[in-house]
Amino acid sequence: MGKQVSKSLAIAYVTGLESVRRKDPYVVLILAGVIVLGAGLMAQFGVEGLHKFVKDVGLTVTTLFSIVICVTTAARQLPTEIENRTLYPLLGKPLSRTAFYLGKYLGVGILSSMVVVLFFLVVRVLLAILGIPVGTVFYQALYLRVLSMWFIAAGVLCLSLYLTQGANVTISLLACLCMQLFAHSILYLHDTLTGIRLRLAETVYWLAPHLELFDLSKKVIHDWPPVPGWVIAVMTLYAILYTGLLLGIGCLRMRRMTL
Amino acid sequence: MNTPNAVDIENLSITYRPSRRSQLHAVSNLSLSVAPGQVVGFIGPNGAGKTSTIKVLMGFMRPAQGKVSVLGLTAGSVEARERTGYLPEVALYYPFLTARETLLLYARLQGLERHTRSKAVNTLLDKVGLADRRDDRLQTFSKGMLQRIGLAQALMGDPDVFLLDEITGGLDPMARYDVREILFELKSRGKTVFFSSHELSEVALVCDRIVLIDQGRVLEERALSEVLASIKRVVVVTEGPWNPASLPEGVGMRTTPEGHSAFVAASEQAYLELREQLAREKIAIARYCEESGSLEDYFVKRIGHKGA
Amino acid sequence: MQKAAIGFGVLACLSCAGFLAVIASPHFPVDERQKPSEFRAARESVTFSLLGQVRMSIGDLMWLKTLEYLHNGIIYRMPTEAERSQGAEAHEFTGMGAGAAHVDGPTLVPGKEQDWRGVLGTLNRHIEPWRPGHAQHSDPQELIPWYQVLVRFNPHCVQAYVNGAFFMADFAGEPERARDFLLAGADKNPWSFEIQATLGKLYFERFQDYELARDTLKSATALAQEEKAYLKRHEDAFDEIQEQLLGETYLFLARSYEELGDYDRAVDTAEAGMKAVPGYQLLRVEERIATRKRDGG
């Protein structure tokens, strides 16, 4: 068990190293520059003290870019390994498929988290320079966003065992970016539905991965007080359970797959 | 307690499903075993089922039926792979890693202790002739150099059994020589090597035994010495030139540098018929000799329809 | 490095496309108001759906953003038919002037009693900005950039000019900027009586330029009459907010005449306004005041 953990860490390390040597950090830095530029749009409007606007632009761009990076990174891992046949010599060693899968997951999770932290850091510095205060809720938002990256990575990695890379990226991005829309739409529709449609809508709502619940950016933007600690704890538990489920499905599929 | 065979395959069948409605039988009821310390060549034409069999031995595929084990352990289990060195038919390695980083990764995956990894990596780089390229990224390596890296990772941890798929594929003559040396060394150290190859000359040089496979079935499983003995030919050299109108079936003709006619009989029956014809036509025989036939011709004849 | 170059290339292409759109836009002026029937026809057009609709949709999203800002991030919705039948009502918010009117209904995220989602609902109420009861409004200055972005996407969104100018003048204290914003809007939407009316009110209240206010408001009433006549021909009419704004237009026009000492016209305008917008009571008061002043009272 301990040996397999060490091997998972080796796979995670190589996943990270690949990203660094593929020059992905340059892309991240360019995107961080876009955040700064986006927030700098404020100067265009010539109005002093647009705190909400700066925070909104910064956090929206952060959310968007971090999700795109996480999805594209996670989606390419397994198909590329299989397509390039780099998987065979690796699994020729005493490395269990589960350890390999979890290593990949770990690598993507750590990378995505680092990207989120970097983006939040850029926003934080920008806000500090502009003299815009942020409260505890900003750090809570950072924590939940990091948590969501691990959640998303688990989902995308799992889907990559069933779908082609292109289909996976499209579906995952749609799911990540439209989850809020879906959750809001169902709230609109709920009272107008009856019978089996109502049951169906409720079932879909309960089963769907509620990524929108990991987004505290509106509370940061509109200066709301921090959310209670138990909410963060429940969200952590929700992420762990759902991620565990997705990883379980992924590991099972990986173990049964013909290579 | 009996020592288990290095490789045991019993009634193995492998089926692919190219589409929902069709099935392709890559291997049917294949049985073979490899004793510890043997070097066995697994040969056959393209699509014969060699790679599929090795993939099952590594646990990459599930057989439709049959039992497969390596060193008495379930094929593909972590325990079996711990004692197996595997070289895939076509494998790429992470192009962004250097040769040294690649082997360090495999050393870690093999479970080598941290303090022994670096030494093992350096030794293997020396062995496969890549010591001077240790810090170069694999993206700059040729196909042959990547194959050497592949061989080095297979040797990592000094496993007991080697499953090598198309070991000399893509290698130049010098590299092939190096690989042959490594195989000789493994053989001398009592390691078991089960390898597939298209290069029959390699097979003839290093194998103890061959397994000939075609269309998923074993056609022949014999010691190499028996095969070589069975393909020996009798050469009859006549006194002076002789150009007969016809020759018995299985007899070939060529001219020696001295201008004599030499007749090569590929079988005992052909030799007897040739002797009768020579006697009938009163042709004097200068000498008899034996020569080894071509392994390639043998396999072509054995498989009957396509080259090995 | 290659990827960074591709990224820059894509950004450069997008920027070029944006600049081209900005340059091309003035050459395709919309010099006549798009009528509801034209909108219906346009929506069935493939070209409009592919291009124009995107612009409008982004504009609509920005509009929602302004509402979200105004309500501190809380999303309100219109009551459903079922809720209306049970007596629930949306409360109209018109305190910022007719042009800024909007509707606050119940919150989109339901309260605990109405929520069917159990723990997910509870989490939702904590994660998303949510508060029971009527909407409380934030500092509307924060809305200004969104109006400015909005009109770049959809320069025919009259409401954005009107609301944006209101917040610039009344909250940011920058009437000059509000005037320029409205003038830009009037340039893009020469048919709009709403923009002219708001501009006229701005001249009256903030610049005390009664002549300019009079001329602008006169032009607004003319445009409104034209619009009303058009709608009548198509069996349509002004909505409540437009009616109220029209009433205000007559009121401020009458007051402009009054300020300029032309009491006869002030009385006539008030009377015309009372005929045009019978429900707008302030015109009666204005008519009495102007009549008293004319008669030397």
* Per-residue model confidence as pLDDT tens digits over B255-266: 888 778 888 887
Instruction: For residue A160, give the nearest of A149, A151, A171 by alpha carbon.
Output: A171
> Which two three-digit tokens encode residue A30?
């360019």
Res. B275 pLDDT band, cuts 50 70 90? confident
Inter-residue contact C109 to A12 (CB < 8 Å)? no
Average pLDDT in the A24-46 region? 75
Among A52, A214, A228, whose Cβ lies nearest the Cβ of C126?
A228
Nearest to C127 among A47, A188, A231 (CB): A231
Lowest mean pLDDT among A221-230, B211-220, B233-242, C81-90: C81-90
Single-letter code of the amino acid located at B231: I
The answer to whether the beta carbons of residues A32 and A119 sit under 8 Å apart is yes
**Chain A: closest CA distance from residue C71 (Å):** 9
Chain C nearest-CA distance from A4, in A, is: 35
Confidence of residue C11 (pLDDT cuts 50, 70, 90): confident
Token duo for residue B287: 């000498």
Contact B68, B5 (CB under 8 A): no
Residues of A with CB under 8 A from a CB of C: 22-23, 26-27, 30, 41-42, 44-47, 49-53, 144, 183-184, 187-188, 190-192, 202, 205-206, 210, 212-216, 218-219, 221-224, 227-228, 231, 234-235, 238
Lowest mean per-residue pLDDT among A119-123, A134-138, B229-233: B229-233
Residue C103: helix, strand or coil by DSSP? strand
With an 8 Å Cβ cutoff, are B92 and A93 in contact? no
Residue C56: count of CB within 10 angstroms of its CB: 18
Closest to A154 in 3D by CA, of A244, A241, A64: A244
Using left for φ > 0, alpha for ψ between -120 and 50, and beta otherwise, residue C87 falls in left
Residue of A nearest to B75 (CA): A92
Please name the CATH architecture into which domain C140-294 falls: Alpha Horseshoe (1.25)
Handedness of CA A92, A95, A97, A102 (dihedral sign): negative
* C296 torsion bin: left (phi>0), alpha (psi -120 to 50), beta (else): left
pLDDT value, residue C209: 94
A6 phi, psi to nearest 5 deg:
-60, -40
Chain B residues whose beta carbon lies within 8 Å of the beta carbon of residue A91: 58-60, 81
- Give the amino acid at A196: I
Enumerate the residues of chain C whose CB falls inside 8 A of the CB of residue A23.
1, 3-4
pLDDT in tens, B50-87: 889 999 999 998 899 999 999 999 988 999 999 999 99
- CA separation for the pair B211, B194 (Å, rounded): 10
Measured between alpha carbons, how far is residue A256 from residues A75, A93, A98 in Å? 19, 18, 11
Asked if B61's CB is within 8 angstroms of A259's CB, the reply is: yes
* CA gap B236, B262 in Å, rounded: 6
CA neighbor of C36 nearest in space, from C242, C179, C255, C258:
C242
The pLDDT confidence band at residue C99, using thresholds 50, 70 and 90, is: very low
Q: Would the pLDDT of C113 be above 80?
A: yes
Residue B139 has φ and ψ, to the nearest 5°, of -65, -15
One-character DSSP codes across C27-47: GS---SPPPHHHHHHHHT-HH
Which pairing describes strands B39-43 and B192-196: parallel, antiparallel, or unpaired? parallel
Q: What's the pLDDT score for residue C45?
A: 57
- On the question of pLDDT at C50 being above 90, the answer is no
Q: Measured between CB atoms, which of B96, B97, B108 is closest to A7?
A: B108
Q: HSE on the CB side for C11, CA within 13 Å?
A: 12
By CA distance, what is A181's nearest residue in C? C108
Domain boundary assignment for chain C:
140-294
Between the CA of residue A237 and those of A230, A240, A244, B21, B152, what are the distances in Å? 10, 5, 10, 44, 45
Query: How would residue B140 be classed by pLDDT, with cut points 50, 70 and 90?
Result: very high
pLDDT surpasses 50 at B307: no
The per-residue pLDDT for B251 is 86
Determine B/A contact with 3+ CB pairs under 8 A as the test. Answer: yes
* The pLDDT value given to residue C71: 87
Facing residue for C73 by CB, picked from A49, A183, A221: A221
Interface residue C131 vs chain A (CB under 8 A): no
Put simply, the answer to whether B109 touches A88 (Cβ < 8 Å) is no
B41 and chain A in contact, CB less than 8 A: no
Q: Give the number of beta-carbon pairs within 8 Å between A and C.
A: 96
CA C252 from centre of chain: 18
Answer yes or no: is pLDDT of C133 > 80. no
**Tell me: the pLDDT tens digits for C135-182?**
777 877 878 888 888 888 888 888 889 989 998 998 888 899 999 999
Closest Cα to residue B54, out of B219, B222, B213? B213
For B110, the token pair is 């093999």
> pLDDT tier at C26 (50, 70, 90 boundaries)?
low
Neighbouring subunits of A (3+ Cβ pairs under 8 A): B, C
How far apart are alpha carbons B255 and B237 in whole angstroms? 9
For C96-128, letters b (16+ CB in 10 Å) and e give bbbbbbbbbbbbbbbeeeebebeebbebbbbbb
Instruction: Choose among A6, A22, A92: nearest Cβ to B58.
Output: A92
Q: Write down the residue that tokens 């198309």 correspond to.
A: B166
CA dist., res. A143 & res. C19, Å (int): 39
Closest-CA residue to B124 (of B163, B88, B160, B154): B154
Six-digit token pair at C278? 């019978």
Is any Cβ of chain B less than 8 angstroms from the Cβ of A14?
A: yes
Band of pLDDT at residue C103, cut at 50, 70 and 90 = low
Cβ–Cβ pairs < 8 A, chains A and B: 79
- How far, CA to CA in Å, does B287 sit from each of A99, A147, A213? 69, 88, 95
User: What Cα–Cα distance (Å) separates residue A144 from each residue in A154, B88, B177, C74, C127?
Assistant: 15, 43, 59, 20, 10
Q: Is A255 on the interface with B (CB under 8 A)?
A: no
Tell me the nearest-neighbour CA distance from B205 into chain A, angstroms: 27
Mean model confidence pLDDT for chain C? 81
Are the beta carbons of B97 and A10 separated by less than 8 Å? no
pLDDT over 60 at A108, yes or no: yes
What pLDDT, on a 0 to 100 scale, did the predictor assign at position B160? 92
C173 interface with A at CB cutoff 8 Å: no
Q: Is C233 helix (H, G, I), strand (E, B) or coil?
A: helix
Concatenated DSSP letters of chain B: -PPPPSEEEEEEEEEE-SSSS--EEEEEEEEEEE-TT-EEEEE--TTSSHHHHHHHHHTSS--SEEEEEETTEETTSHHHHHTEEEE-SS----TTSBHHHHHHHHHHHHT--HHHHHHHHHHHHHHTT-GGGTTSBGGG--HHHHHHHHHHHHHTT--SEEEEESTTTT--HHHHHHHHHHHHHHHHTT-EEEEE-S-HHHHHHH-SEEEEEETTEEEEEEEHHHHHHHTEEEEEEESS----S---TTEEEEE-TTS-EEEEESSHHHHHHHHHHHHHTTPPEEEEEEEEPPHHHHHHHHH-SS--
- Residue C10's φ and ψ, nearest 5 degrees, are -65, -45
> Confidence class of residue C230 from pLDDT cuts 50, 70 and 90?
confident
User: Got the DSSP string for A164-181?
Assistant: -HHHHHHHHHHHHHHHHH
* Contact status of A22 with chain B (Cβ, < 8 Å): yes
Backbone angles phi, psi at B236, to 5 degrees: -110, 120
Touch C-A: 3+ C-beta pairs under 8 A? yes
> Could you say which of C3, C126, C142 has the minimum Cβ distance to residue A231?
C126
3-state secondary structure of C49: helix
Percent of chain B with pLDDT over 90: 31
- In sequence order, the 6+-apart residues with CB closer than 8 A to the CB of B303 are B44, B45, B212, B214, B219
Can you give the pLDDT at residue A105? Answer: 96
Residues of A in contact with B58 (CB under 8 A): 88, 91-92
- Residue found by looking up tokens 């990540």 in the block: A176
Q: How many domains does chain A have?
A: 1
Kindly state whether A233 is in contact with chain B, defined as any CB-CB distance less than 8 angstroms.
no
- What is the mean predicted confidence (pLDDT) over C214-219? 94
Q: In chain A, pLDDT over 70 holds for what percent of residues?
A: 96
Res. C197 pLDDT band, cuts 50 70 90 = very high
Identity of the highest mean pLDDT range in A137-141, B33-37, B217-221: A137-141
Under the banding of pLDDT at 50, 70 and 90, the label for residue C29 is low
Q: Would the CA dihedral through C153, C156, C157, C163 be positive or negative?
A: positive
Rounded CA-CA distance B76/C283 in Å is 92
DSSP code at position A224: P
Q: Is B276 within 8 Å of B265 (Cβ atoms)?
A: no
Scanning chain C, the segments in alpha helix (DSSP H) are 2-24, 36-43, 46-47, 53-70, 81-85, 118-127, 144-153, 158-170, 175-188, 193-205, 210-233, 240-259, 263-276, 282-294
pLDDT at C92 over 60: no
For residue C86, pLDDT over 50 is answered with yes
Residue C20 confidence (pLDDT) above 70:
no
pLDDT tens figures, B88-98: 887 689 999 99
Query: Binning pLDDT at 50, 70 and 90, where does residue C22 land?
Result: low
Residue B308's pLDDT is what? 39
* d(C-alpha B84, C-alpha B178), whole Å: 21
Maximum pairwise Cα distance, chain C: 83
HEC sequence for B1-12: CCCCCCEEEEEE
Cα separation, A36 vs A62, in Å, equals: 10
Closest residue in C to A188 (Cα–Cα): C108
The pLDDT of residue C51 is above 80: no
3-class secondary-structure state, position A87: helix
Q: Which residues, at least 6 apart from A67, have a Cβ–Cβ distance to it below 8 Å? A: A152, A173, A176, A177
Residues spanned by the domain of A44: 2-256
Whether residue B124 contacts residue B104, with contact meaning beta carbons closer than 8 Å, is answered with no
Question: Among all residues of chain C, which has the CA nearest to that of A221?
Answer: C73
Binary contact (A18, B96; C-beta < 8 A)? yes
**Which residue(s) pair with B20 in the sheet?**
none
| HEC profile of C60-95 | HHHHHHHHHHHCCCCCECCCCHHHHHCCCCCEEECC
Segment (H or E) for A210 = none
* Confidence class for position C58, pLDDT limits 50, 70, 90: confident
Provide the percentage of residues in chain B whose pLDDT is more than 70.
97
Choose from B81, B84, B109 for mutation: most chain A CBs within 10 A. B109
